[in-house]
Amino acid sequence: MSLARHWRLQDERYKLIGKECAACGKKLFPSRDICPHCGSRDLKPYRFVGRGEIYSYSTIYQPPAGYEAFVPYTVALIRLDEGPLITAQLTDLDREGVEIGQRVEMVTRKLREYGPEGLIVYGYKFRPVLKG
Amino acid sequence: MRSVSIIGIGQTEVREHWERPLRGLAVASITAALDDAGVDRADALYVGNMLSGELTGQEHLATLIADFAGLRGIEALKVEAACGSGGAAVRMGYLAVASGLHDLVIVTGVEKMTDCEDGLVTEALAMAGDGEYEAMQGLSFVALNALLMRRYMHEYRVSHEDFAGFSINAHKNAARNPYAIFRRPITREEFMSARMISDPINLLDSSPVGDGAATLILCPEDEAQRLCPTPVTIIASATATDTIALHDRDNPLFLQAAHESAQKAYAQAGVGPEDIALFELHDAFTIMAALSLEACGFADNGRGVELAKDGEISLQGRIPISTMGGLKGRGHPVGASGVYQIVELVQQLRGEAGANQVNCHVGMAQSIGGTGATAITHILKGPH
Amino acid sequence: MKPDREVGIVGYGAYIPRYRIKADEILRVWKSIDTIHLEEKSVPGLDEDTATMAIEAGRNALKRAAIDPQEIGAVWVGSESKPYAVKPTATIVAEALGATPHTNAADWEFACKAGTEAMQAAIGFVGSGMARYALAIGVDTAQGRPGDQLEYTASAGGAAFIIGPKEESLAYLEGSYSYVSDTPDFFRRPHQFYPQHGHRFTGEPAYFKHTYYAAKHLMDELGYTPHDYAMVIFHQPNSKFPRRVAQRLGFTEKQLKPGFLVEVIGNAYAGSSPLGFAAALDEARPGDRILLVSFGSGAGSDALSFTATERILKNDDSLRRVRDYIARRQEIDYGTYCRYRDNLNSH
């Protein structure tokens, strides 16, 4: 069972905590040790609000092993308000469908289970903004 | 640095090789290439492969293959760059000869994908992307490409049907390649009604998985004339990388690594896109074909699909691609494809392409890892 | 009973999943006699469970309270549908809400009153001075056996309450009371997927006895009668039981209305009376006195009496109200419902 692998990513998966580069000010998600924009190693934790808009999306009909129970499900690239793109599933979708540019917000949902006896992995997904 | 030539090629059919194991496929292609080159030994073996561990429980692959190919004892290393592993192996073989350290090098790309069921293969292929931040979110490799295709369609206002030409062209050429997995042409109607995998990518946008192996024999250009009547020379070899995840790209719709790799290759060879007679590009998906053409200077951004619509990618067109079927028609045993590309270019440049023959002297191949994270470009020149 | 230090609710939040199955649709399949008189009930999506719902309710509560989650001293989740039989839902929630590591966390169980259990404990915890704030959540993804009467009502959802000092409260506690006995009206053995239901035994000896006496004793102790209350919320296993006990105690339909949700969302078990309470708070005016009476099989009832303060009128349109979640709905058919509730496997 890969327990530590998922446990160590909880700050990112539960709270969207990435990094902010003290040198160039860019916000980074996920976390890194070296700023890809300016090369600085002076990075501090930064919590993203969890709002953004859809950059692109796709509905999956042929899933990787472990995600069969959710098919069909929709994944997306989302442009977070603070700048970075994030890859995540969309959830709580209406039958009307999804549009590029649509505003979305982060929620915490089940990403997958490792069988009925195994770990449940929770993480970020995005849904159309409920209100406000 | 020495100039490097290809004096032998070998390949297996791409298909579900139920009877053949991974090592057997590799050995078959190596034997064929050694026979083609008229040699029976080598200084080194570089094996391109992505999934031997994940799907067949075998790592340490090159050493295993060297032993079973009758080459026990030589330098042997596996090279991995996801679906660009084949191109990466070619790159390593090129470096070994160009550097002067080896005089006879075997480059093999091999992949066995059909021993496992779909879900496991899909899971394994997703490792070409970011395991924690793309794959763990439930994305398949197809889905990553689908995100690109949908964004492309949105930004450039093209339709799904505009991509049909890539698939139709590939199948048409594959039908005339005895090594290809698909042996019949497809129609536009079939393209439009194919089953959706990760929308907008349907079954006929996607290259098929399969088993296969392809091999090159490399030596210094000076030696090549002595050993081979029709040596093909590598006049450029260049690699570039980009972010592994789509979400880290500055502009996901521009394959920056493919662009830089191609630019470096053009500079090395002293040519430009206009000098390239044919381009074995990495058409893992129709969207990749369009983006590759754009990144390498054959079309402006967003105009790649027009080359498919206007027939410019056909054997008679301005820039023939997938001339022996490409990844789409010949098949995409992922780690092997990059070597198949070179094998097919050599066939073309030697005049051995049969019904798919293009009139050519300089050809280009580009092998891509992931969604454009690694790009390895080679430009080849035919014998006079 | 009430603690020496005065406490109250400094923030609250709710969550109801968006899927609904209509009672008529269940009836269409089972052709049973529908005595439950519900319109529809809420159904959790494939990627939802008690933890995910508790997290969203908790986030809503934090937003309303506007406190630093690090100041929370306990995160307590009451549910009978824990994602893990052993591993607290509360640590997942505490981690996601940013309350860890300097906090207590634990899961509570008392069937449908597990949420108010957690509230009672939180009241004691904060009232004793052991923590400045404590978060109590009642939440469930209830299971009803296909074809059983309970299938019409067993639903999903919950609400979270941050207990804190009276000076910071939007509703302060005047007193609470717990009334329990060993009454086995409804239960589930370990490794069983569906609960056992005592049918008519769940009525007078269980639900009515405990809710009636908890409410009565509390009101007597505080010196109040139903007339002193603007609103009352009872646990809602169906639409009849809460109306009957309300009538017996002397409460009116008008007092019942703001927290009466069962007909449109079903019975969210440990989330039922907390959700009703959250809905009532959404509509409360300063000075309104509110009585919350939960019921948990096994059996017992917690009665809690609150009075709303000026802070109840927080003017922020971005705050999610119970009615926002009720309004957000997508109907599903029985087959889809079975898929979502994992009823297609034999249990």
Domain ranges in chain B are 4-117+209-232, 139-205+234-381
Q: Does A56 touch chain B (CB under 8 A)?
A: yes
For the beta sheet containing C330-331, the strands, ordered from the edge strand earlier in sequence to the opposite edge, are C40-43, C19-22, C330-331
Are residues C153 and C186 both part of a single domain?
no
Average pLDDT over chain C reads 95
Regions in chain B scoring below 70 on pLDDT: none
Rounded alpha-carbon distances, angstroms, from residue A7 to A2, B26, B139: 9, 40, 20
Are residues C166 and C22 both part of a single domain?
yes
> Which tokens sit at B97?
């000869």
In a domain, C346, yes or no: no
Q: Which of B328, B330, B339, B365 is nearest to B32 (CA)?
A: B339
Q: Taking CB atoms and an 8 Å cut-off, how many pairs form between chains A and B?
A: 108
Query: Hey, is A78 helix, strand or coil?
Result: strand
Name the pTM for this structure.
0.94
The CATH homologous superfamily of the domain defined by B139-205+234-381: Thiolase/Chalcone synthase (3.40.47.10)
The CATH number that applies at residue A65 is: 2.40.50
Q: Over the stretch B270-291, which tens digit does the pLDDT of each residue have?
A: 999 999 999 999 999 999 999 9
In a domain, C185, yes or no: yes
| Residue C35, domain extent | 7-170+322-340
Beta carbons within 10 angstroms of residue C224's beta carbon? 16
What total number of domains does chain A contain? 1
Q: Is B332 a catalytic residue?
A: yes
| C18, C56, C95 member nearest A14 (Cβ) | C95
B198/A36 touch (CB, cutoff 8 Å), yes or no: no
Chain C residues closer than 8 Å to A69 by CB = 46
In a domain, A90, yes or no: yes
Q: What is the pLDDT along chain A (132 residues), one digit of tens a residue?
A: 789 999 999 999 999 999 999 999 999 999 999 999 999 999 999 999 999 999 999 999 999 999 999 999 999 999 999 999 999 999 999 766 899 999 999 999 999 999 999 999 999 999 999 975
The CATH number that applies at residue C287 is: 3.40.47.10
**Whole-number pLDDT of residue B336:** 98
Q: What part of C 47-106 touches A (C-beta under 8 Å)?
A: 47-49, 51-52, 55-56, 83-84, 92, 95-96, 98
In terms of DSSP H, where are the helices of chain A? 4-7, 10-15
Answer whether residue C346 shows pLDDT above 80.
no
**Whole-number pLDDT of residue A95:** 67
Mutation pick from A108, A119, A120, A125 vs chain C, by most beta carbons of C within 10 Å, is A108
Q: Do domains B4-117+209-232 and B139-205+234-381 have the same CATH topology?
A: yes
Are residues C216 and C86 both part of a single domain?
no
Q: Is C191 a catalytic residue?
A: no
Q: Say what percent of chain C tops pLDDT 70.
A: 99
Q: Taking CB atoms and an 8 Å cut-off, how many pairs form between chains A and C?
A: 51
In a domain, A99, yes or no: yes
* Catalytic site residue from B83, B219, B228, B360: B83
| B137, B150, B201 member nearest A56 (Cβ) | B150
C318/A132 touch (CB, cutoff 8 Å), yes or no: yes
Are residues C125 and C69 both part of a single domain?
yes
**Whole-number pLDDT of residue C189:** 95
In a domain, C347, yes or no: no
Chain B residues closer than 8 Å to A67 by CB = 138
**Whole-number pLDDT of residue A23:** 97
Query: Hey, is C164 helix, strand or coil?
Result: strand
| B120, B136, B197 member nearest A61 (Cβ) | B197
* Catalytic site residue from B259, B332, B360, B378: B332
Average pLDDT over chain B reads 97
In a domain, C317, yes or no: no
- H or E element that contains C307: strand C298-308
Mutation pick from A19, A38, A62, A98 vs chain B, by most beta carbons of B within 10 Å, is A62
Are residues C203 and C335 both part of a single domain?
no
Q: Does A65 touch chain B (CB under 8 A)?
A: yes
Are residues C96 and C107 both part of a single domain?
yes
Q: Does B200 touch chain A (CB under 8 A)?
A: yes
Are residues C34 and C166 both part of a single domain?
yes
In a domain, C2, yes or no: no
In this structure, whether the domain defined by B4-117+209-232 belongs to CATH 3.40.47.10 is answered with yes
| Residue A58, domain extent | 4-10+50-128
Q: Does A90 touch chain B (CB under 8 A)?
A: no
| C45, C51, C92 member nearest A91 (Cβ) | C45
Mutation pick from B125, B144, B198, B253 vs chain A, by most beta carbons of A within 10 Å, is B198
* Cα separation, C262 vs C267, whole angstroms: 6
In a domain, A42, yes or no: no
Are residues C277 and C329 both part of a single domain?
no
Are residues C112 and C149 both part of a single domain?
yes
Answer whether residue C35 shows pLDDT above 70.
no
* Catalytic site residue from C40, C48, C56, C112: C112
Q: What part of B 207-246 touches A (C-beta under 8 Å)?
A: 243, 245-246
Q: Does A95 touch chain C (CB under 8 A)?
A: yes
Q: Which residue in this structure is represented by tokens 């969309």?
A: A90
8 Å CB contact between A43 and A36: no
What total number of domains does chain C contain? 2
Ranges assigned E (strand) in chain A: 17-21, 27-28, 43-47, 51-60, 73-80, 85-90, 103-113, 120-128
For residue A60, the distance in angstroms to the closest alpha carbon of chain B comes to: 4
Are residues C109 and C13 both part of a single domain?
yes
Q: What is the ipTM of this complex?
A: 0.96
In a domain, C194, yes or no: yes
Write the Ramachandran bin of B285: left for phi over 0, alpha for psi from -120 to 50, otherwise beta.
beta
Residue C161's DSSP bridge partners are C12, C136
* Catalytic site residue from C40, C56, C80, C117: C80
**Whole-number pLDDT of residue C318:** 87
Are residues C37 and C140 both part of a single domain?
yes
**Whole-number pLDDT of residue C314:** 79
pLDDT band per the 50, 70, 90 thresholds, residue C32: confident
**Whole-number pLDDT of residue C34:** 65
What is the 3-class SS of chain B, one letter each residue? CCCEEEEEEEECCCECCCCCCHHHHHHHHHHHHHHHHCCCCCCEEEEECCCHHHHHCCCCHHHHHHHHCCCCCCEEEEECECECHHHHHHHHHHHHHHCCCCCCEEEEEEECCCCCCHHHHHHHHHHHCCCCCCHHHCCCHHHHHHHHHHHHHHHHCCCHHHHHHHHHHHHHHHCCCCCCCCCCCCCHHHHHHCCEEECCEEHHHECCCCEEEEEEEEEEHHHHHHHCCCCEEEEEEEEEECCCCHHHCCCCCCCHHHHHHHHHHHHHHCCCHHHCCEEECCCCEHHHHHHHHHHCCCCCCCCHHHHHHCCCCCCCCCCCECCCCHHHHCCCCCCCHHHHHHHHHHHHHHCCCHHHCCCCCEEEEEEEECCCCEEEEEEEECCC
In a domain, C1, yes or no: no
* Cα separation, B94 vs B85, whole angstroms: 14
In a domain, C301, yes or no: yes
